[in-house]
Amino acid sequence: MDAKTFERLDLKYRKKNEEYMKAHANDMFRGGPGGGRGPAGKIGKPKNAKASIGRLFSYIKHDTWKIVIVLFLVVLSSVTNLVGTYVLKPVVNGLIDKTVTQEKRMENLLLGIASMAVLYAVGIIAQYMYQRIMIGVSQGALERIRNDLFKKVGRLPLKYYDTNDTGDIMSRFTNDVDTVGNMLNNTVISIISGIISLVGTTFLMFYTNWVLAIVTILMTPVMVKAAGAVGKKSRKYYKQQQAALGSLNGYVEETISGQKVVKVFNHERAAGDEFEYLNTDLRNKQLKAQFFGGIMGPVMGNLGQMSYTIVSVVGGLLCVAAQRTKEGILTILPHFDVGGLTIFAGYSRQFSRPINELSMQVTEIFSALAGAERVFDAMDTPPELPDGDAAVAPESLRGEIVLDNVTFGYVPEKTILKNVSFYAKPGQKIALVGSTGAGKTTITNLITRFYDIDDGSITIDGIDIRDFKRDYLRQNIAMVLQDTHLFSGTVRENIRYGRLDATDEEVIEAAKLASAHSFIMRLENGYDTVLEGDGANLSQGQRQLLNIARAAISKAPILILDEATSSVDTRTERHIEHGMDRLMKTRTTIVIAHRLSTVRNANAIIVLENGEIIERGDHDDLLNQKGRYYELYTGKKELD
């Protein structure tokens, strides 16, 4: 890579990384305590922790009795571990006591070992049981959360999907729910266990020797200060690493997905240079991030060793001093012995562990509560307005559509449609033509009541669409969109998606009506062929024919075609049109098309510009008017 290329890329990505760092200035990144672990990820702070905690625990209230058992077992496990260590004191003292016989020493040793074995066994069994129980409780809660979230997201208005990224919505089901699950599985129990261990260890240290307890506690601020200093550096470099990693991953994704463009413009070398720059930048930032993440463990370990050494030295002096007290010297010092020093050394090692764990668990709690808030925000988003008590569902609809002075805007400050009026009689084909942004798709969104109009009215068979039951309204409208979407499953299941109770014979009939039957039968397993990745094993035209078959099987009296042939070639378009013509014979059809040749036979063509109807009539009428449609059809002007 030459210097000029490096300078250009450095300027480009330095600005990008600065924007990333600024946008994530309040995020917390934590490195692992040792071993060079990478970042645990981005952790946000919850806005209302109390409300989120209360709502989370409402999902486990069904298992209250299990929670009580878990708490008891956690206390039992922590206490047995603490007491098991304390039992070591009489064992050690008994071994060095010269006033007892050798047989008595062995008896005391075996008794002590047996007691410790029983205590630790009880602790292990208790830990195993509370983990098993808590996993069941947490997974049950996660199941209920996912069910509630999915059901709620399914009832949200289309506006929610228009204003939220699909990836962001998906992350609520994956990342956010996973962090909540991790908290319920491990974090809560770890915090309770850590608090019990910390309190119990502190009590036993003071009970054993208050002088050594004070010495141990005085070392704690030093360890906290050191951890804070290393953590601050670590967070800084992990942020830089995340920014570099995001740039690299994004570049790889867009380059691989755009390989045709890369190759046709001979951009392979330039792409390689840019990847080399990003890869080198990531390596340099990872070195710093991993270094500071990796030294956290050794730093804390060495400080712990220093504390252990100081405790051992002071404890040894106290043991010597305790012998001197028998001769009347240093009587103010507490009585101390070798057994006490042995267990205190163990407690001094244990003392820093729960502090470190608790500090790490707090970040996990924040992360989980922030994730829970995002999940609950989605759950609290207002759903589509419920049907009124007087909502109707007639036995059948003929499909007569009337728009009367319809005005609408997606946001209050910008009106998209302005006093739009037109009608479509049963069986008619109405074409909507106009530039991008003229309001064509918006009209179809209003007819299906994905959005409610601001003013005017839309009626079907003389009934305002707001008076229909929403499910009933949409059951009577079939749509074929420009962007085909097929679901995982067989061809038969995808066609049947239009009407789940359709028989196999009706599926085949719909496929024949859509001119899809012949190509389906040429597939390896016919109607039982499993579709891959949104129909990736089919051509664009074949996918669209399946969409038409799906619309055909619904038997809805109203059909909406939103640029259904704009992404296929002319030959495939004629094949698709043949299927659609048969589909439209008995249905009221609203067609949106950029290719004007596809709407020549429409009963009426409506030309929209800036949300207003500027022309209407059939093909011949509009050509005779020599207006906007004439200009578009003859090529004097093009659709924007």
Last residue of a domain, one of 503, 535, 555: 555
Name the residue among 280, 284, 590 with its Cα closest to residue 430: 590
Domain count for the chain = 4
Residues 217, 95 within the same domain: no
Domain assignment of residue 393, yes or no? no
Last residue of a domain, one of 321, 356, 385: 385
Main-chain dihedrals φ then ψ at residue 455, nearest 5 degrees: -155, 160
Residue 264 is predicted with a pLDDT of 72
CB of 337 within 8 A of CB of 94? no
Residue with structure tokens 């934590």?
Answer: 30
Residue 11 burial (10 A CB sphere; 0-12, 13-18, 19+): exposed
CB of 296 within 8 A of CB of 33? yes
Q: How confident is the model at residue 91 (pLDDT cuts 50, 70, 90)?
A: confident
Domain assignment of residue 408, yes or no? yes
In whole angstroms, give the CA distance from residue 240 to residue 207: 48
The 10s digit of each residue's pLDDT in 252-309 is 877 887 777 788 777 788 888 888 888 888 888 888 877 776 676 677 667 767 777 7
Residues 444, 564 within the same domain: yes
Residues 174, 291 within the same domain: no
Domain assignment of residue 604, yes or no? yes
Full residue range of the structural domain in which residue 527 is found:
486-555
Residues 233, 143 within the same domain: no
Residues 422, 491 within the same domain: no
How many Å is the maximal CA-CA distance in the chain?
126
503-529 core/surface letters (b: 16 or more CB in 10 A; e: else): eeebbbbbbbbbbbbebbeebeeebeb
**Distances, alpha carbon 344 to alpha carbons 210, 339, 356, 484, in Å:** 11, 9, 19, 70
Residues 467, 605 within the same domain: yes
Residue 15 is predicted with a pLDDT of 65
How many CB atoms lie under 10 A from the CB of residue 498? 22
Residues 96, 238 within the same domain: no
Q: Residue length, the chain?
A: 640
Query: Which residues on neighbouring strands pair with residue 608, listed in sequence order?
Result: 434, 613
E strands, 221-355, where? Answer: none
Domain assignment of residue 549, yes or no? yes
The three-class DSSP label of residue 125 is helix
Name the residue among 380, 378, 377 with its Cα closest to residue 46: 377
Domain assignment of residue 353, yes or no? no
Query: Which residues on neighbouring strands pair with residue 429, listed in sequence order?
Result: 589
Residues 312, 236 within the same domain: yes
Q: How confident is the model at residue 184 (pLDDT cuts 50, 70, 90)?
A: confident
Rg (CA), the chain: 36
Mean of pLDDT over the chain = 80
The 10s digit of each residue's pLDDT in 389-438 is 788 888 888 999 999 999 999 888 889 999 999 999 998 899 999 888 88
Average pLDDT estimate for 550-559: 88
Q: How confident is the model at residue 328 (pLDDT cuts 50, 70, 90)?
A: very low
CB of 543 within 8 A of CB of 573? no
What's the pTM value of the predicted model, to 2 decimals? 0.67
Residues 162, 230 within the same domain: no
Residues 458, 566 within the same domain: yes
Residues 109, 165 within the same domain: yes
The 10s digit of each residue's pLDDT in 1-51 is 777 777 777 776 766 666 555 555 544 444 333 333 333 344 456 667 778
CATH number of the domain residue 503 falls in = 3.40.50.300
CATH number of the domain residue 322 falls in = 1.20.1560.10
